[in-house]
Amino acid sequence: MTRLARRPLLHLALGALAARGAPAQAQTPAYPTRPVTMIVGFAPGGPADTIARLIAPALGADLGQTVVVENVSGAGGSIGQGRVAAARPDGYTILFGSLAQATIPTLYPRLSFDPTAMEPIGMINEVPMSIIARRDFPANTLAELVAVVRREGTKLNLGNSGVGGTSHLCSLLLQQAIGTQVTLVPYRGTGPAMNDLLAGRLDLGCDQTTNNSEQIRSGAVRGYAITTDQRVSALPDTPTTAEAGLPAMRMSGWNMLFAPPGTPRPIVERLNRALLGMLGDEAVRRRMVELGSLPASGERTTPEGAKAFWQAEIARWKPLLEASGGT
């Protein structure tokens, strides 16, 4: 065969290879090309909702699309997680997760979805908890509050965001640390619980500083202690539980972004880049700190680091939940 005869065959072969490659390129469209919905598993006005609405504009700015916050509350955050778990794994429905995502696998073993199959995108923040009470509660210090709780027991009520929520876990730990049971009152989020505490219909609360630091500073509720090793800049006059005489009461809440199971790695990585961009936004970081929250940093902001932390939290809380009879 002559060189001239070979050339048409060569062109045909190269054309065939190009045609084979075309479908592969078409299977990876640009992302995102439309708004992204971020599901919050708790009611509007609570700490999760507050941080979700704070970060949504910064995430949207990085992605070039609007990030819409939607509240799907109930069953300790499992209804919202179920909504995301059932969504198409295309990056257009994501979960604003919390410590609830570490309790749902233990509390709800018969869900229609696997709660451990979500795709972590990265951690957003960590949040100290505050032990609080209605404005006219008859105690000036944490030690006095402990004495009242031990004396009154179940006559006192303590509101939380629902079984398995961060404030519910804080309530269980507080009871364990004091050695006395009170009456736990579950709500569909800590926003409604805070409203009842402000109105004096609830006695006690144990909630994230993002939901109560402003109320403590204004005197609308009484703040007794922070549940971390160090005081927070948003509440410099509020002692830690160790300083106030209850060192066994230590915990932090956290928030993390999740995608549906099976979300392609390039989409998870694009969402992670948006998360890192948001965490680098000085206005967002400043507002988080004002709310008593600590912006995430380091390995936990990566998908792999976030997954390892999440799995460790599932294992950490499982014994306490089982012992409390919540399962």
Query: Which is the CATH superfamily of the domain at 36-126+253-324?
Result: Bordetella uptake gene, domain 1 (3.40.190.150)
pLDDT digits (tens, 9 = 90+) for 18-63: 444 444 444 557 999 999 999 999 889 888 999 999 999 999 999 9
Per-residue pLDDT, 326:
61
pLDDT at residue 190, as a whole number: 81
| Residue 320, pLDDT score | 87
pLDDT in tens, 188-203: 778 889 999 999 999 9
Domain(s) of CATH 3.40.190.150: residues in the chain: 36-126+253-324
pLDDT of residue 14 exceeding 90, the answer is no
Structure-derived torsion over alpha carbons of residues 27, 268, 119, 315, reported in degrees to the nearest 10: 160
- pLDDT value at position 27? 54
3-state secondary structure of 253: strand
How confident is the model at residue 315, as a pLDDT?
96
pLDDT tens, position by position, 213-254: 999 999 999 999 999 888 998 899 999 999 999 999 999 999
Would you tell me the crossing angle of helices 100-107 and 166-178 to the nearest 10 degrees?
Answer: 80
CB 196 within 8 A of CB 139: no
Residue-wise pLDDT for 55-93, tens only, equals 999 999 999 999 999 999 988 899 999 999 999 999 999
What is the predicted pLDDT for the residue at 28?
55
Nearest to 284 by CA among 40, 44, 56, 49: 56
pLDDT of residue 163: 80
pLDDT tens digit sequence for 109-131: 999 999 999 999 999 999 999 99
Just give the CATH number of 127-252. Answer: 3.40.190.10
> Which segments of the chain belong to CATH 3.40.190.10?
127-252
| pLDDT for 324 | 82
pLDDT in tens, 270-321: 999 999 999 999 999 999 998 888 899 999 999 999 999 999 999 999 998 9
Distance, in Å, from the CA atom of 88 to the CA atom of 41, rounded to the nearest integer, reads 18
Taking only the tens place, the pLDDT of each residue in 133-173 is 999 999 999 999 999 999 999 999 999 987 877 888 999 99
Q: Closest Cα to residue 174, out of 213, 196, 203?
A: 203
What DSSP designation does 171 have? H
**How would you classify the pairing of strands 119-134 and 204-208?**
antiparallel
pLDDT of the residue at 84: 98
Global confidence as pTM: 0.79
